[in-house]
Chain A
Amino acid sequence: MDNTKKTQEVLMNSIFEVFEKMFFVFLEPFDEDIRYDMIVSIGFSGPSQGSIRAYLSKPIASIMVENMLGLDPAEVTDKSMEDCAKESLNMIAGNFLNKLEPKKVYDLSIPAYEKKSGTFPKDSEAALKLIFDSDGQRMAVAMTIDAKK
């Protein structure tokens, strides 16, 4: 997992695919700091190991639940947003690793959720970071790869 440009492109395509197919949300790259209300993270291990974290605003998480389950905004709960956020990252990670290295086997951890607000800076020090906008709702994805042993 050395070619950062290719890795970034594959990660971005995986995010687009998951959001379009499962949540009917169309994302566009964005280049500003964003506010988030929750963080989900997932670890991967195999030929390389590391983690992927997604920073989501509450409105985008709510839209994901509404679109995926066909619910009205009033029916969306914190629990359903947590569940959708975790499942989205699970799909992104699996899709990304499979596209990047289809012949290699990676194990994924169970996604973890943290209800935490903050600002994701566009100049974050993560090895790989992507920020998105969808009709004014924002999210960011950051990936870190552990140093080789």
Chain B
Amino acid sequence: MSFNVMIVDDSNSMRAVIKKIITISGFQMDKCLEAGNGRQAMELLTGNWVDVIVSDINMPEVNGLELLDQLSKNDMLKEIPVIMITTEGSDERMKEAFARGAKGFIKKPFLPEEIKKVLYQVIGVGQDGQYEEDARSSDELDF
């Protein structure tokens, strides 16, 4: 099973680095969509389905927290898990992001393993690409 990922960050370099890390981590990524801010992300989401969004907070036009608000108001998109990946890592900012619907939080600067770990946690799959529940079921069947 592979997943469509959207990366939202106003820095081209940061989007490229995140994409590269996800690719080399072995995460089963199918399509990777990129947006420079929350407005562009919402536009792309009108014609594309993604399984997880990785978003910065501090961006022009529509920032990451505003993107969370827009997603939560949309019945089609509100279930998409969002991981915030940001320099703004205070406890209060993190609480605010979770209260507005974020499912994961990574502080910049980050190590590649952190992205991989949170991505797997949020999307609910194990390192082998199987859903955690599926993995448990097959374990139980293994006499």
Contacts and interface: CB of A to CB of B under 8 A. Distances in A.
A93 interface: yes
A21 B91 contact: no
A104 B90 contact: yes
A110 B58 contact: yes
Interface stretch (A4-12, A83-91, A121-129): A83-91
A91 B14 CA distance: 11
B60 A110 contact: yes
Interface size class of B (residues with CB under 8 A): 20 to 34
A69 B13 CA distance: 7
B132 to A, nearest CB: 29
Chain A, interface size category, equals 20 to 34
B97 to A, nearest CB: 12
A48 to B, nearest CB: 14
Given A69-B17, A94-B86, A98-B89, A108 B58 contact: yes
Interface centre among A21, A86, A91 (most CB of B within 10 A): A91
B14 A102 contact: no
Interface of A: 17-18, 21-22, 65, 68-70, 79-80, 83-84, 86-87, 90-91, 93-95, 97-98, 101-106, 108, 110
Interface of B: 10-14, 16-17, 20, 58-60, 86-93, 107-111
29 contacts: A17-B109, A21-B111, A65-B13, A68-B13, A69-B16, A69-B17, A69-B20, A70-B20, A83-B11, A83-B13, A87-B13, A91-B87, A91-B108, A91-B109, A94-B86, A94-B107, A95-B87, A95-B107, A95-B108, A95-B109, A98-B90, A98-B107, A101-B90, A103-B92, A105-B92, A106-B90, A108-B58, A110-B58, A110-B59
